[in-house]
Amino acid sequence: MTVEPIEPQAQAEAAGLFVMKCGGSTLAALPDSFFEDLRELQASGNQPVIVHGGGPAISGNLEKLGIESRFVNGLRVTTEEVLDVVEMTLSGSINKAIVRRIQASGGQALGLSGVDGNLIMAHPVANHDEVGLVGEVTGVRAEIVTGILTMGYIPVIAPVGVDGEGQRYNINADTAAGAVASYIGSPSMIVVTDVPGIMRTVDGEKVVLPSVTVVQIEALIENGEIYGGMIPKVRAAMDCIQGQVSEVIIVDGKEPRVLSRVLKGEALGTRIVRS
């Protein structure tokens, strides 16, 4: 069976629609107030969509099972054995932990993975001979996401994709989030992290850059202003800028009422724009 990827919708169908990407470990560390803010946004008519990762938890489970973790250019080498653990961790424990926290705050959430309903269609990445069952997104069934939203639930999506023959793929959470945002018509995406934004040294002090282009980020990495553990965070955020997604906002999830403040236009974190 071949499933053709659907075309992205030209515009968001509902006011207040936004996509939020967050790592599983970051979400686990967020205070209850973050989820209360999310619940209030949902109650006031906003429509959040969450795409999450879970790299550290996957590595931890692989270690417990005695399975080696290997990476090539930041992508986890994924065999069928590794993929079983990836799916168990992302679609199982992490996904349901997020759903439980949302519902404990009074919100309504429904957890699923990209396999469910062929939500995230994928095919092998170009260097699949090196990384194995890692996929790139070929389509997102936007009607599933919008249908869940229409029922009054927050979709919580684990980034495992599938092709027309039923083969699963490990999908980078950032690229999955960018694809979901683009296909459902969300022009911007919020990346929730544990840092206040992209930092730069000005007059000897670290300050948050309110806005930066992709070209400027590469220059900041080149001159050493962005370094160490911030480099993969920033590159991951840039991976989200695809299709109709024209900006990504990096924010610290521990900032009080960060989601509602960003959605109201308050200058928090760093906005990454194409140009």
Known binding residues for substrate are: 54-55, 76, 170
Close Cβ partners of 190 (under 8 Å, ≥ 6 residues apart)? 18, 19, 20, 21, 248, 249, 251, 259, 262
Identify the residue whose tokens are 């194995």.
Answer: 132
How many residues are present in the chain?
Answer: 275
Q: Which amino acid is at 3?
A: V
Close Cβ partners of 221 (under 8 Å, ≥ 6 residues apart)? 227, 231, 234
Copy the structure tokens of residue 214. Answer: 């992709």
Residue numbers belonging to the annotated binding site: 54-55, 76, 170
